[in-house]
Structure 1
Amino acid sequence: MRKRSAGPVGAVRRAGPGDGGRERGVVPAPAHGDWLTLGKDGRLSLYAPTDGGLLRWTETAVGGPAWSGPHFVPVQGLTDLTVVQGADTYVHFLGRRERERADGGTGVDVVHAIQYQTGLAFTEWRSLGNPHRDPAQGRALGRPVGAVAADGTVHVLVPDAHGGLALRREAPNGKWRAWEDLSGTGIDTPPATVSLAGGRVEVCAATASGVLLWRQAAPGGDFEGPRGLALRPVPGTVVALETGPERATFFWADAGTGGVGAWREGDWPVALGGAPTGEPCARLRTVVDGYDSVVLACRDRDGSAVLGVGGTENEAAGFWWYALGESCRGVPALARDGHGRVVMALIGGDGTPKVARQEAGSGLTLTRWRSLED
């Protein structure tokens, strides 16, 4: 694995009275991606965007239940924040940033920062630029998403102004390659990415007419595709999870049935039920009662959080949904804590982060919700 330099660090401080609404840790909506992460030391961290930057909460001990925070990380101009974690446990932050240009117009670029250790400072926010040189086209750039390959190589993907997909990734020497055009058409929402244990990365993007899929033929290689698939996801709802050796399953909100759908190479699509909004599901692979299982979490049409559980690559045998009786904003997050228990996080209807943890015993039952502001 390539060695990284910690580099200059950005400020991380306790949010205080001078931070407006940040002293209470209230956020308008969650970040995108995996915004609940498990560090190498076994502690969970939760990240959420706020005015002028982002907020971070961290477990004070492995398995909780207490959390420290919120701690405020300043970064001006972010319109979107995506969190992605690699197998090395480093947490990467990708943002779409808007700033005033010298000519008075608005400039847009993609920025990136890293947190190497739980609860410690970030690196500086580095600009990755914009695939478009024309400022007007650059302002049409979409929200970036990321994937960290098994060797630690960071991949940044973003819908461009032409309805295609742009890629920027690290080179073997740690420097960033130039922007690459992966082509495609009709893409106006961020794609889904999956980093497979064998080192390859796959990317899936939904359009109004179907799905486009890109795959690396070998770790670190070029992306093949796009290949068109006759699936009907709601654009912006596709997520991916490695469910077998070098094999990904894709989940989405289905435009035809209104429920959640699942598909992987070599199988037919399967309807999983549920009633999601036009947002993606959080996803996690874990063991429940001794069975390899997939857990999904999303917000249903009445704004409440729901949890779904089924056998890994055995969706046709049944997928069970449970209403959790808690309103939430945006997409929940799922992770395992330092003791291997499933933890679900959400941003409550009042803008306060909350978590619930898997209880001991059979099945997947969650504890009562704990506000991180308690």
Structure 2
Amino acid sequence: MNGDWLMRGRDGRLSVYRLSGAAVLCRAESGPGGPWTAERKVGGDQKLHPVLALGQGADGYAHLVSWRPTVKGEAGLVHSTHFRPRLAALDWTPIGHPNKKGDRTGTPAVAVDAQGRAHVFVRNAGGGVSMVAQKEKGGWDPWRDLEGTEVQDGLAAVTGESGRVELYAAVPGGLLHWRQETPGAQPVRQEALQAPVRPGTLSALATSADGTTVFYTDTSGDLCAWRPGGKPVTLLPSAGSGPVSAVRCDLDGHDCTLLAQRSASGRVAFAAYPTELESAGAWWTESGPRLPLDARVSVATDENERVVAATLSPSTGGLLLTRRKDEPGLALEAWRQV
């Protein structure tokens, strides 16, 4: 999966999404902080390939994108919107293929702008990036080629506090960055970063009124942070493989960035530091039980702005959850199965 699969809806309830065979399933709290509902299928009976990208707008709506099989050897992208966890999601709607037709070209990424329009990015057959975006009054714009070469899988799409959409992509020896100059405009290639980036480790977060931060693991195994216009900063050794999950939160009156990752030991590792002050340093603290090898971690905040963390194992469907205690620091409640 690409994107945060633990989300807080506009009604304050938390929900989680996961892949199961040829379908996407969703569970949600029956009320903020309440018990969890049983899993429900998202988007109707359309059969999907085992890939899912998720994004969320300021309105709290969840946007989901996947590939579906079409004719033999070919596939097309589909999109669904989930307005509230209590409601059924819209049926999957075809949104085409970056090369008009063909097989899957990469894992999509989704970001949602201030007007609630989903922007879907995916690597195309030529090794660049293509994008398709929703129109403000319904429907979809034509596919656009954003160019780029040798783009690797694992794009990171993010919406800044300004409501403008940005995209980061790993290429051999560095990162590419696209940004909207104005709301609704086609994202434009910005400066590139030369750095030894490990593919499949990108995640991005809005960290200031005008800035976003991308996190990645370099080829030596260190977790790094980069904001366009500056130099990359090495934070600390990566706790495990794959991208970190990141969220902005208030810790004892300070605006902090919290990172979470399944560690090499199999437990969840957390690290926090003052937002955009990587020089303050960060260190990992492990929590919870040892998890299956395929377990994923996601962090969010609940209706009271408390940190919530969840782990999900695709092979078992097991969902574990914890919340921050109402006390100083980052003390967490005992992990519980839901």
Partner of 2:36: 67
Q: Percent identity?
A: 35
Contact kept? 1:79, 1:98, Cα under 8 Å: no
1:248 and 2:212 equivalent?
yes
Partner of 2:17: 47
2:305 aligned residue (323, 340, 349): 340
Matched residue SS, 1:131: coil
Q: Matched residues in 2 for 1:357 and 1:208: separation? A: 39
TM-score w.r.t. length of structure 1: 0.85
Partner of 1:355: 321
Structure with larger RCO (C-alpha < 8 A, sep 6+): 1
Contact kept? 1:199, 1:218, Cα under 8 Å: no
Matched residue SS, 1:181: strand
Q: Matched residues in 1 for 2:194 and 2:299: separation? A: 29
Matched residue SS, 1:33: coil
Report Cα offsets for 1:154-188 as digits up to 9, x if no partner. 10000111111010012333221111100101113
The structure having more radius of gyration, on CA atoms, is 1
Aligned residue pairs total 333
Contact kept? 1:150, 1:196, Cα under 8 Å: no
1:38 and 2:8 equivalent?
yes
Change (3 A) 1:90 1:331: same
Richer in strand (by share): 1
1:147 aligned residue (93, 102, 111): 111
Matches within 5 A, 1:283-362: 283-326=246-289, 327-328=291-292, 329-348=294-313, 350-362=316-328
Unpaired runs of 5+ in structure 1?
A: 1-30
Change (3 A) 1:55 1:133: closer
Deviation at 1:91, TM superposition (A): 0.7
Matches within 5 A, 1:1-374: 31-64=1-34, 66-73=35-42, 74-99=45-70, 101=71, 105-134=72-101, 138-225=102-189, 227-256=191-220, 258-326=221-289, 327-328=291-292, 329-348=294-313, 350-372=316-338
TM-score w.r.t. length of structure 2: 0.93
Deviation at 1:300, TM superposition (A): 2.1
Q: Matched residues in 2 for 1:47 and 1:148: separation? A: 17
Partner of 1:8: none
Report Cα offsets for 1:185-235 as digits up to 9, x if no partner. 111313111111222111110112211111111111122215321122211
Change (3 A) 1:83 1:325: same
Report Cα offsets for 1:79-102 as digits up to 9, x if no partner. 201121110111111102224x2x
Unpaired runs of 5+ in structure 2?
A: none
Contact kept? 1:184, 1:226, Cα under 8 Å: no
Q: Matched residues in 2 for 1:291 and 1:227: separation? A: 31
Contact kept? 1:159, 1:190, Cα under 8 Å: no
